Amino acid sequence: MEQKLLATIPGTRDILPEEIARWHLVERTAQDLFERYGFEEIRTPILEPTELFARGIGADTDIVGKEMYTFDDPSGRSVTLRPEATASVVRAAIEHYLTRGGAIRKLYYLGPMFRHEKKQKGRWRQFYQIGAEVLGSDHPAIESEVIEMLLALLARLGIEARLVVNSVGDARCRPAYVERLRQELLRDLSPFCEDCRRRAQTNPLRVLDCKVESCQPHIERLPKISDHLCAECADHFARFQSYLRDAAIPYEVVPRLVRGLDYYVRTAFEIVSGGLGAQNALAGGGRYDGLSEVLGGPPISGFGFALGVDRLVMVIPEEVGRRSEPKPDVFVAYLGEAAFRRGQEIARRLRHEGFWCILTFGGGSLKSQMRQANKLGARNVVIIGDDELARERYPVKRMDAAVQTDMSLEELLSQLRSDRT
């Protein structure tokens, strides 16, 4: 019986070996850089109790309202594939007392997130984020330092991006502003889209990040949160900006920036990049001082961001991406079974010494093996035939210089070592 061909679920995909070099480049660069800034990796479960996100992200957000992969597990408990990781990191901090004794913890994570979003270029239902969170400090200098680190990562990857910032106020000043916004919206809802009309009632702040074209001129006329901050939030925002200026980080204040998650207070920011089309946000983040309490924990200040890796790999310039593609040190070409066995021995030794060595099974003609070596970009090809077996000296072809020299295995090793330094 002919079987139906199975394929990935829409919005998910395979990341193939052909494209993995860019992913590794992003992940390794981030890990290396973040550790220099004093961040430690944390890995939290992909599956979490649904309530973590319902409470942590906010019931009237698009994520919780319509995008979560939620189901009952076999024991009847409602679980969700994480749509983001900040709530999980804060849960972990509470569960393991990570900030006990007033400790400041700098944590980063990387991994897949799941949101059942409308399909669009740059939007996936399983996508990957790298994020960093600082727990235990409400200092605005932390915010500029975290942003500096994120921008340094993008710079290392050759990506040009813009920083936009805003303050979304806090529990003291935001409610009055939201009420003001609601009143203003309710005065005349007719020019707004259906979603905005609903949001005017349920969550007026969300109107500000509506993307519908016809809503834009009307949103521009709405009151701005920056004109309604309390003295503490205004002072925090001014200090944050002064630290950005100290670090020579260019930025733009965008009063409409509110972000899609309810837990943000005070500083919110986004990193946007040209070349991404409508989904131009590469990263977003902000301060979430109340989140721990919402999750049943003690007060723990927090500030962090999440960076979309899928989008990032799309904008890494060609030459940076190419540089990251690793090349084998040695390709071992052989003719005949005895030479193959010697080849295995040589490959074993080279690998043991830390070199990347390719030995194919099945061999083929010398010409076809050379073609393969070329395709893989191998730096050297060792050729083993009957004569070489007896002499224990092998022609080694340096592919970039197209020169060939007879060498013993020890001579080859010392050449590889000196090439490496």
Contact 230, 260 (CB under 8 A): no
For 274, residues 6+ apart whose C-beta sits below 8 A from its C-beta are 160, 280
Task: Name the minimum Å distance from CB 371 to ligand AMP.
Answer: 38
Query: What is the helix (H) or strand (E) element at residue 25, kind and residue range?
Result: helix 20-36
Counting contacts by CB under 6 A, is residue 55 touching ligand AMP?
A: no
Kindly tell me the burial class for residue 104, based on how many C-beta atoms sit within 10 Å of its own C-beta (0-12, 13-18, 19 or more): middle
Does residue number 306 form part of the binding site for ligand AMP (CB under 6 A)? Answer: yes
Q: What is the C-alpha to C-alpha distance for residues 135 and 133, in angstroms, rounded to an integer?
A: 6
Residue nearest ligand AMP, CB atom distance: 308
Contacts 24+ apart (CB under 8 A), 94-103: 94/292, 94/295, 94/296, 94/297, 94/298, 94/300, 98/135, 99/135, 99/136, 99/300, 102/136, 103/136
Residue 311 touching ligand AMP (CB under 6 A): yes
Which positions from 4 to 43 touch ligand AMP by CB under 6 A, shown as an x/- string? ----------------------------------------
Q: How far is the CB of 161 from ligand AMP (least distance, A)?
A: 11
Rounded to whole angstroms, how far apart are CA atoms 167 and 170?
9
Comparing CB distances to ligand AMP, the nearer of 282 and 346 is 282
Is 287 a residue that touches ligand AMP (CB under 6 A)?
A: no
What's the min distance (Å) between Cβ of 332 and ligand AMP? 41
Tokens 């309530």 found at: 51
Q: Which of 109, 127, 237, 288 binds ligand AMP (CB under 6 A)?
A: 127
Beta carbon nearer to ligand AMP, 280 or 405: 280
The yes or no reply on residue 82 touching ligand AMP (CB under 6 A) is no
Q: Does 281 bind ligand AMP (CB under 6 A)?
A: yes
Using the rule CB under 6 A, which residue among 87, 229, 282, 378 binds ligand AMP?
282
The contact set with ligand AMP (CB under 6 A) reads 84, 115, 117, 123-124, 127, 129, 260, 281-284, 306, 308, 310-311
